[in-house]
Structure 1
Amino acid sequence: MKLSVLDQTPTSNGQTSAQTFQNTIELAKLVDELGYNRIWYSEHHGATNLASASPEIMIAHIASTTKNIRVGSGGIMLMHYSPLKMAEVFKTLTTLYPNRIDFGVGRAPGGDRFSTLALHEGRQPNVLNQYDKLVETMMFMTDTMPEDHVYSRTLAAPLDAPLPEVWLLGSSGSSAAQAGRFGIGYSFAQFISGQLETSMLEAYHENFTPSEFMPAPKINVGYFVMAAETTEEAEYHAASLDLNLLFLDKGMPFQIFSPEEALNYSYTEMDKMAIEHNRKRFLVGSAKDVANTLREHDEKYGIAEAVLGTISHSHEARLQSYRLLAKELL
């Protein structure tokens, strides 16, 4: 099984954004050395707990500081941007770092309604044409815009750039078949919905049509993960994520809580039920147990690649989780 990373650039209580980005660089260098396949950066706007609002800038910097790992977006929220601009950004990246860049696209806003309104300069975004925008972006990348298209005489620079891998991100399964029709990869966010099903992966494979971006189908699955030497240690660090997700669901601002803060928090019975429900979204335990669960998912669903997102208050605990799982699975 291939292992990859989703880095949402978490910012812990008392930590500056500059420290967060230094942690991001350290993590990227570590997983590159450990043999992870790819690392993706998310796009979040108006968040106090996540520092990455510009994955394209993160990609450029991280690709320059690593050697082998693929670097990409997980994902670009295409509803906010023009296809031409995104084609130009990623063609620039693939020219600088050929065969290492992934263009992962999400359909969510990546922020609250206030951030979305500001990104669209006070206008309501058109959320109905996102698949059309993805198609146009890919046509700009391949210089295949139809002659009768309004953009037929528009070129996306730089010319003759290598193509990135293109991925469509989804959390409900409804986009799986569409990713297959486009001939691009499909990344299912188990960490959002917790509802991985065989049927959605089958829909992707059944509809897959080879393309210039991807000659054969590729699927990966994203998980929240906290692994440690022992289950007790993993549960201790995972308490932070329990409280983080609870605050996120309530729409309350926060930075990444320490395990002590989380364990001493006064939870209502409804809070405890919400935490139990959210636990479907991530894997917590000893590295051996987490690795065995991933192997079971691979056997059951045919997952060739797991994308691991680890959020903890302790940066060292985060690094150690990735080290331990690499030792078990790579």
Structure 2
Amino acid sequence: MKLSILDQSPIFYGETEGDALQSSKELAVLADRLGYTRYGVTEHHDLEHVACPAPEVLLSYIGAHTEEIRLGAGAILLPHYQPYKVAEVFHTLATLFPGRIDLGLGRAPGGSAEATTALSPRFLEEVRKMPEKVEELLRFLNHDFPKDHMFHSVEARPVPNQRPEPWLLGTGKKSALLAAEYNMSYAFGYFMSDHDGRELLNTYRINFVGERPYTILAVSVICSETTARADELAHWTHVVNEARTKGEKALISVEEAKRVSLPKYKTKLISGTFEAVKQKLMTLEEKYEPDELMITTIMPNREERLTSYQLLGEAIEKE
């Protein structure tokens, strides 16, 4: 089972944004030691419960404290930025950490309407340009503009010996087709999509223009030492998510969450002891046939988040 991590840099109950960024570094060091394949950092803007609006900055810090694990954005929200600048940033990272840098791309706004406008006043127009921006970015990474193109002589420096590995994070047909057209790996955001996803992954595979398509399934997981604690943490997660959708206070303790009753809900969250989680992940593998599972885990505290990833990571070492 090939496992990776998608880190949203959550702010834990009773902690600060600075604590959250340090927790991301701490988790990356653990993941590096346990043999996780890659470590992706998400991009969000002006949200009270997550701490990283600039993945490239956090990745440089994490890179200095890790040795082998691949590092990347999951994902840079390309409509906000010029492709040339993104290429320069990730070429710099790839120069600092050779053979370890990924460049995940997405098209979501990553924050409120006001924050989105502050970043990109013509965001919807830039979203419509996503295919063109992806092509331009890939050409800057590869330095292969046609000779008659205005950017033919422009290079995104520094030039690394191994370029960043691009992939696309998405939940819809457009992203699947775009990844296939440009010979990119495709990560399906299973945990944040109402779609089943199998049709999208098959669409990507069928339309892929390169030698071998590569798929990643991004899944939300809570792994605990007991079923009872896993159930409490899963309930906390649903209470917090419900509060966020209503714009209410979301940074609460497990004890506070226990006092909140919720109607029966359908969820894609996978929770339980290691054996239970492993069986559920194996079922997902059989159903979706991904090349890799990317795990995201939101907990009320850093200790239990580390435990969750450690329980899964120790299984990697045993295989």
Given candidates 306, 311, 315, the residue that maps to 2:293 is: 306
1:256 matches 2:251: yes
**Offset of 1:98 from its aligned partner?**
1.3
Partner residue in 1 for 2:313? 326
How far is 1:170 from its partner? 0.6
Kindly report which structure 2 residues correspond to 1:108-257, keeping only aligned pairs within 5 A, or say none.
108-120=108-120, 122-126=121-125, 127-159=127-159, 161-210=161-210, 216-250=212-246, 252=247, 254-257=249-252
Runs of 4+ in 1 over 4 A off after TM superposition: 122-125
Secondary structure of 1:75's counterpart equals strand
* Residue pair 2:34, 2:316 contacting (<8 A) in 1 also: no
Does structure 2 conserve the Cα–Cα contact (< 8 Å) formed by 1:11 and 1:255? no
Report the Cα distance in structure 2 between the residues aligned to 1:15 and 1:255, rounded to whole angstroms: 13
Contact between 1:259 and 1:313, CA under 8 Å: does it hold in 2?
A: yes
Preserved CA contact (<8 Å) 1:48 1:254: no
What do the CA deviations read for 1:146-200 (whole angstroms, capped 9, x no partner)? 2333323322111354211111001234321221111010000111015333222
Residue type of the alignment partner of 1:272: P
The amino acid of 1:261's aligned partner reads E
Structure 1 residue matching 2:284: 3-state secondary structure: helix
What do the CA deviations read for 1:233-257 (whole angstroms, capped 9, x no partner)?
111122221122112222x154432
Give the conservation status (yes or no) of the 8 Å contact 2:244–2:250.
no
**CA–CA separation in structure 1 for the residues paired with 2:122 and 2:207:** 35
- CA distance in structure 2 between the aligned counterparts of 1:254 and 1:99, rounded to whole angstroms: 41
Q: 1:160 to 1:317 in 2, by over 3 A?
A: closer
State the secondary structure of the residue aligned to 2:26.
Answer: helix
Q: Distance in 2 between matches of 1:115 and 1:65?
A: 31
Measure how far apart 1:329 and its partner are: 4.6
**Local SS of the residue matching 2:178:** helix
Separation in structure 2 between the aligned mates of residue 173 and residue 229 of structure 1, nearest angstrom: 38
Structure 1 position 139, deviation (Å): 0.2
Deviation at 1:230, TM superposition (A): 1.9
Alignment-mate amino acid for residue 276 of structure 2? D
Residue range with higher mean Cα deviation, 144-153 or 52-61: 144-153
Post-superposition Cα deviations, 1:113-148, rounded to whole Å, max 9, x if no partner, equal 10011112x555522001211110110111111233
**AA aligned opposite 2:43:** E
Once residues 75 and 5 of structure 2 are traced to their aligned partners in structure 1, the CA distance between those partners, rounded to angstroms, is 13
Which amino acid counterpart does residue 186 of structure 2 have in structure 1?
Y
1:317 shift after superposition: 0.8
Partner in structure 1 of residue 45 of structure 2: 45
Matches of 2:19 and 2:162 in 1, distance apart?
Answer: 33
The answer to whether the Cα contact below 8 Å between 2:188 and 2:197 also exists between their aligned partners in 1 is no
Sequence identity, in percent? 37
Q: Equivalent residue for 1:91?
A: 91
How far apart are residue 304 of structure 1 and its match? 2.5
* Separation of aligned partners in 2, 1:170 and 1:217: 15
SS of 2:138 mapped into structure 1? helix
Amino acid at match of 1:249: T
Amino acid at match of 1:284: S
Report the secondary structure of 2:234's partner residue: helix
Which runs of 5 or more structure 1 residues have no equivalent in the other structure?
A: none
Distance 1:96 1:154 in 2: 21
Say whether the 8 Å CA contact 2:7–2:42 is kept in structure 1: yes
Q: Which residue does the alignment assign to 1:23? A: 23
Q: How many residue pairs were aligned? A: 316
How much is the aligned-residue C-alpha RMSD, in angstroms? 1.7
Write the distance in 1 (CA, Å) between the matches of 2:115 and 2:124: 11
Alignment check: 8 A CA contact 1:10 1:256 kept: no
Query: Gaps spanning 5+ residues in structure 2: where?
Result: none
Give deviations 1:262-305, integer Å, cap 9, x for gaps: 1112x4xxx525xx13x22x111111111111111112221221
1:60-75 aligned at under 5 Å gives the runs: 60-75=60-75
SS in 2 for 1:5: strand
1:272 counterpart residue number: 263
Query: In the TM superposition, what is the alpha-carbon distance from 1:33 to its structure 2 partner?
Result: 0.6
TM-score by length of 2: 0.94
- The DSSP-based 3-state class of the residue aligned with 1:150 is coil
Q: Deviations over 1:84-121 (max 9, x none)?
A: 0000001111111111000000110111110011112x
CA distance in 1, matches of 2:305, 2:271: 12
The amino acid across from 1:222 in the alignment is: A
What TM-score comes out, normalization by structure 1 length? 0.91
Distance 1:233 1:160 in 2: 46
Contact 2:92 2:160 in 1 (8 A): no
Which residue among 270, 273, 292 is the counterpart of 1:283?
270
